[in-house]
């Protein structure tokens, strides 16, 4: 399928600025030719042009902040997509920076992830960092299409091979693209636009080739709000992280392994101390996620909880204050 790339709002704004500044320079030059005195020499026009360019940029910057459809004081948005029994989270800053963590299920006939991305970043838009926490098919589903349809600047994977066709398709898509490829390890840190991404796991020396246990665990900070995503690691890895790091505190915790009983221990909840928890799981899934034991632990720790089964896509808006503005697609 051929998909036409469209300009982002930021690119359109930049092109308008270029047209206006070019016109202004042309007018200034013609005035110099017409008057022909020293007050309109090259140095004079250079200074005038720079002043006009700055003024125009300022005006259009203000217009852009008013017409992008975003509330002006929102610093960023986090979308926990409803992709059924799978996981996909899009983090967006108001400067246009996008981080996508996982891409949902491989067998989604509606290809929800593509519809979501078209809606929020635009067809052919840019994903600055794409993280596949691990290579199970409910986390990398349609990842090859994401790489084909959008400009992905960098991809992270855990480096543990899988035997599935979707995994091979994702690798092929990476090779055919011009994206950077990286296998991050614990204690790495990367700045992506206004985001800070900290890597807690996997460790440099892998103890297993289990996909779940080797999930990429990250804490991403924007505007002082921290979001921790653990993939499908079990409490064994959680315990190792507790021993390894003195500060695991977070504001938003994506509950591990879709709410499985073998993740999200009381010790982990105490160490991360989240202000809110989110579960991504599908209705009537064969695994019984989220498990009752996990829900009880979360409730006992007085953590407000959202679930894509009951709430659909969950959106958190960051507005520069301590408050988390949370919107849900539905309430069931």
Percent of the chain with pLDDT over 90: 73
Longest Cα separation, the chain: 84
Nearest alpha-carbon partner for 270 in 230, 291, 296, 298: 298
Whether 298 has a pLDDT exceeding 80, the answer reads yes
Residues near 38 by beta carbon (within 8 Å), at least 6 away in sequence:
none
Q: Are residues 51 and 94 in the same domain?
A: no
Instruction: Report the alpha-carbon distance of residue 244 to residue 17 in Å, rounded.
Output: 50
- The secondary structure element, H or E, covering residue 15 is helix 9-35
Classify residue 111: in a domain, yes or no. yes
pTM over 0.85: no
pLDDT at 38: 44
Q: Are residues 38 and 98 in the same domain?
A: no
Q: Are residues 84 and 178 in the same domain?
A: yes
Q: Are residues 32 and 164 in the same domain?
A: no
Q: Are residues 104 and 199 in the same domain?
A: yes
Q: What is the mean pLDDT of the chain?
A: 85
Buried b / exposed e across 76-104, counting CB within 10 Å, b at 16+?
Answer: bbbbbbbbbbbbbbbbbbbebbbbbbbbb
Classify residue 316: in a domain, yes or no. yes
CATH of the domain at 309: 3.60.15.10
- DSSP codes joined into one string, 312-323: SSEEEEE-SSS-
Report the pLDDT averaged over residues 161-178: 96
Q: pLDDT class for 268, splitting at 50, 70, 90?
A: very high
Classify residue 259: in a domain, yes or no. yes
Q: Are residues 224 and 119 in the same domain?
A: yes
Q: Which of 67, 96, 115 is the last residue before a domain boundary?
A: 67
Q: Are residues 251 and 295 in the same domain?
A: yes
Q: Are residues 181 and 199 in the same domain?
A: yes
Q: Are residues 59 and 87 in the same domain?
A: no
Classify residue 188: in a domain, yes or no. yes
pLDDT, tens digit (0-9, with 9 covering 90-100), for 125-155: 999 999 999 999 999 999 999 999 999 999 9
Q: pLDDT class for 209, splitting at 50, 70, 90?
A: confident
Length of the chain: 332
Q: Which of 35, 67, 99 is the last residue before a domain boundary?
A: 67
Give the domain extent around 211: 76-328
Q: Are residues 192 and 274 in the same domain?
A: yes
Q: Are residues 62 and 84 in the same domain?
A: no
Nearest alpha-carbon partner for 106 in 84, 79, 131: 84
Q: Are residues 163 and 263 in the same domain?
A: yes
pLDDT at 82: 98
Classify residue 2: in a domain, yes or no. no
Whether 10 has a pLDDT exceeding 80, the answer reads no
pLDDT, tens digit (0-9, with 9 covering 90-100), for 27-59: 555 555 444 544 444 444 444 444 444 344 434
Q: Dihedral of the CA atoms 150, 151, 155, 161 (nearest 10)?
A: 50
Q: Considering its fold, how many domains does the chain have in total? A: 2
Classify residue 306: in a domain, yes or no. yes
Classify residue 1: in a domain, yes or no. no
pLDDT at 16: 52
pLDDT at 72: 41
Whether 168 has a pLDDT exceeding 50, the answer reads yes
pLDDT at 319: 87
Classify residue 19: in a domain, yes or no. yes
Q: pLDDT class for 296, splitting at 50, 70, 90?
A: very high
pLDDT, tens digit (0-9, with 9 covering 90-100), for 237-261: 999 999 999 999 999 999 999 999 9
């Amino acid at each position: 399928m051929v998909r036409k790339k469209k300009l982002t709002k930021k690119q359109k704004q930049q092109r308008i600025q270029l047209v206006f500044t070019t016109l202004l320079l042309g007018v200034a030059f013609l005035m110099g030719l017409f008057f022909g005195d020293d007050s309109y020499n090259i140095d004079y026009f250079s200074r005038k042009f720079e002043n006009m360019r700055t003024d125009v940029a300022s005006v259009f910057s203000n217009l852009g902040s008013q017409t992008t459809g975003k509330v002006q004081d929102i610093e960023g948005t986090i979308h926990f997509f409803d992709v059924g029994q799978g996981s996909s989270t899009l983090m967006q800053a108001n400067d246009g920076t996008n981080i996508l963590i996982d891409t949902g299920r491989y067998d989604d006939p509606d290809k929800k992830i593509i519809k979501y991305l078209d809606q929020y970043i635009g067809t052919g838009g840019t994903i600055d960092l794409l993280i596949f926490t691990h290579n199970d098919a409910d986390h990398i589903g349609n990842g090859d299409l994401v790489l084909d349809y959008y400009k992905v600047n960098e991809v992270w994977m855990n480096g543990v091979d899988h035997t599935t066709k979707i995994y091979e398709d994702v690798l092929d898509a990476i090779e055919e693209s011009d994206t950077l490829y990286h296998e991050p390890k614990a204690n790495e840190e990367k700045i992506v636009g206004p985001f800070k991404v900290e890597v807690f796991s996997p460790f440099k020396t892998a103890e297993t080739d289990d996909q779940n246990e080797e999930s990429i665990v990250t804490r991403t900070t924007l505007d002082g709000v921290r979001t921790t995503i653990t993939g499908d690691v079990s409490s064994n890895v959680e315990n190792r992280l507790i021993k390894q790091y003195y500060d695991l505190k977070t504001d938003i915790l994506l509950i591990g392994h879709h709410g499985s009983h073998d993740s999200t221990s009381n010790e982990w909840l105490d160490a991360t101390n989240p202000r809110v928890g989110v579960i991504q799981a599908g209705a009537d899934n064969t695994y019984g996620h989220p498990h009752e034991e996990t829900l009880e632990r979360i409730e006992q720790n007085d953590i407000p909880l959202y679930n894509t089964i009951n709430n659909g896509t969950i959106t958190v808006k960051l507005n520069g204050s301590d408050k988390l503005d949370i919107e849900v697609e539905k309430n069931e």
